[in-house]
Structure 1
Amino acid sequence: MVAFDEPLPYIGVTPFQLVSALIILLVGYLVAKILVSLLKRSLRKTKLPPLVVEFLGRFLAILLYVVVIIVALGAVGISVSPLILGLSAVIGLILGFGLQDTLTNLAAGVWIAALRPIDLGEVVEVSGQVGKVSGIGLMSTELMTPDNRVITIPNKLVWGSIIVNYTRMPTRRVDVDIGVAYGTDLDRAIKLAMDLMKGHPKVLDDPEPSVVITALADSSINLQLRAWAKTDDYWDVKGDLTKGIYELYTREGIEIPFPQLDVHLRNE
């Protein structure tokens, strides 16, 4: 019968050391979970964004797990000093040759989580891609397009590009462009457009809607209907006004021209 303090065959570790290591792993795991939970609970009472709280919790958990593993290895008689030095050298090589982009994405993810130029559920344009933010991770950000495509963008591209947030503000201005023929009674055309916007139930009274002349184009005088609506109603209002102004001008005899080219032939 093997004594409790005698090394086991082939592995050179005593049963006491094995039991000690297992206890350290178990207790260390439980303590790490408790500490991470306490940290998250404390941070949630502050004004830190949830993503920052989650990131700090994961970082502390990884750090504690590494410490527990090192202590457990020391309990079975493994010298941890060379291990730490070896890990440091390996990490240095990896950082020097292969993880520049990873660290850049990680740092960008921290800034995104802290400053929140985008948030879950918002519709944004990032790096030329438009979609609803469905996930923000430490390394990448996911957008869901209207046709159910998932676009994954590295965080360094998110943080390093111009971000257009379409839904951050509670209201948006709806712009509808339309052209009328030269010779049109502009005052009448503008009044009809104003009546259309003011009669729409989802167009806000404040700011007041307006109609402006944007260009004297080659084939038309271009008008722009500008109406304010709640952000959630943006597309409904835009669709209704686009359809409504076309039908209204057609019914009222206001010509909506299209580009055309006059060709003159001469007989010689």
Structure 2
Amino acid sequence: MAALDKPLPYVGVTPMQVITAIAILTVGYIVAKVITASFKRGLKKTKLPELVVEFLGRFLSALLYVAVLLLAVRALGIEVGSVVLGLSAVIGLILGFGMQDTLTNLAAGVWIAALRPIDMGEVVEVAGKTGTVRAVGIMSTELLTADNTLITIPNKLVWGSVITNYTRMPTRRVDVNVGVAYGTDLDRAIKIAMELMENHPKVLKDPAPSVVITGLADSSINLQLRAWVKTEDFWGVKGDLTRGIYEAYVREGIEIPFPQLDVHIKEMPK
């Protein structure tokens, strides 16, 4: 034991102090995990949104880790007050060099958790990225894309950009564009499209589906099928209607033209 109490050369701390500090870090890490998990389980029993629960859990976890680190430093015989003072000076120096983004991200995270323009599990487009909201942390927001790519966006960019939430509302409108050739019987083309939507089991009756003429293009008269569906059925119905209108028009002999360019070659006199 005497060897453990003998200060190490150059560092001025004993092996026992080092062992104690390592033990505090190990046990503290485990305890912080347990406390955070218990805290989140308790919050989940309330009516707080999952996004807020996750944010508060991460915030508590960060505070506990700082506390464990300070306890480990104290076990090494270093005065915690001087460490805190030193950290404050370092933080002030960092902020002086333009690292105010840290506080900006923290403040933005608080606003996101409080006002919830996005929520856990929602599909959103933010800062030019689209994905499912996986988490909103103290400093950043995580999105999971459709191809299973994890994207981390600083909270200040999330809060400071336009947010498009694709799944917040219970219903969405499916728009399918199709062109028919000039000379087509439009009433017949519209009737076929209406029957396709009305016969689809996942297309809602209210609001009723509709077909509108959206433009007279160079090679076609453009139609748009508009059908209201439950949000979770959006992509499935869009795929069904896109394929269905093509097959229906081919079956009924209605031409779907493609862009054409007529080139006339004029021979120059010799």
> So what's the TM-score if we normalise by structure 2?
0.76
In the alignment, which residue of structure 2 is the partner of 1:212?
212
| CA distance, structure 2, for counterparts of residue 150 and residue 78 of structure 1 | 40
Q: CA deviation at 1:91?
A: 2.3
In the alignment, which residue of structure 2 is the partner of 1:88?
88
| CA distance, structure 2, for counterparts of residue 59 and residue 143 of structure 1 | 19
Q: CA deviation at 1:131?
A: 1.6
Equivalent residue letter for 2:205: D
Q: Is the 1:180–1:223 Cα contact (8 Å) retained in structure 2? A: yes
| CA distance, structure 1, for counterparts of residue 38 and residue 143 of structure 2 | 32
In the alignment, which residue of structure 2 is the partner of 1:108?
108
> So what's the TM-score if we normalise by structure 1?
0.76
How much is the aligned-residue C-alpha RMSD, in angstroms? 3.6
User: Cα–Cα, structure 1 residues 164 and 67, in superposed 2: closer, same or farther, change >3 Å?
Assistant: closer
Q: How many residue pairs were aligned?
A: 255
Q: Is the 1:32–1:64 Cα contact (8 Å) retained in structure 2? A: yes
| CA distance, structure 2, for counterparts of residue 10 and residue 184 of structure 1 | 95
Aligned 1:48-127 pairs, distance under 5 A: 48-56=48-56, 59=59, 82-97=82-97, 99-127=99-127
Q: CA deviation at 1:101?
A: 2.1
User: Cα–Cα, structure 1 residues 255 and 66, in superposed 2: closer, same or farther, change >3 Å?
Assistant: closer
Matched, 1:196 2:211: no
Equivalent residue letter for 2:133: V
Q: CA deviation at 1:99?
A: 3.1
Aligned 1:178-193 pairs, distance under 5 A: 178-193=178-193
Matched, 1:244 2:236: no
Q: Is the 1:134–1:143 Cα contact (8 Å) retained in structure 2? A: yes
Equivalent residue letter for 2:196: L
| CA distance, structure 2, for counterparts of residue 201 and residue 257 of structure 1 | 29
| CA distance, structure 2, for counterparts of residue 247 and residue 33 of structure 1 | 57
In the alignment, which residue of structure 1 is the partner of 2:172?
172
Equivalent residue letter for 2:175: D
User: Cα–Cα, structure 1 residues 196 and 92, in superposed 2: closer, same or farther, change >3 Å?
Assistant: same
Structure 2's unaligned 5+ residue stretches are none
Question: Taking every aligned residue pair, what percent have the same amino acid on both sides?
Answer: 72
1:200-243 deviation per Cα after TM superposition (whole angstroms, max 9, x unaligned): 11111010000000001111110000001111111111111111
Structure 1, 251-260 or 62-71: larger mean CA deviation: 62-71
Q: Is the 1:51–1:114 Cα contact (8 Å) retained in structure 2? A: no
Q: CA deviation at 1:86?
A: 3.1
1:66-89 deviation per Cα after TM superposition (whole angstroms, max 9, x unaligned): 679879989999766555433332
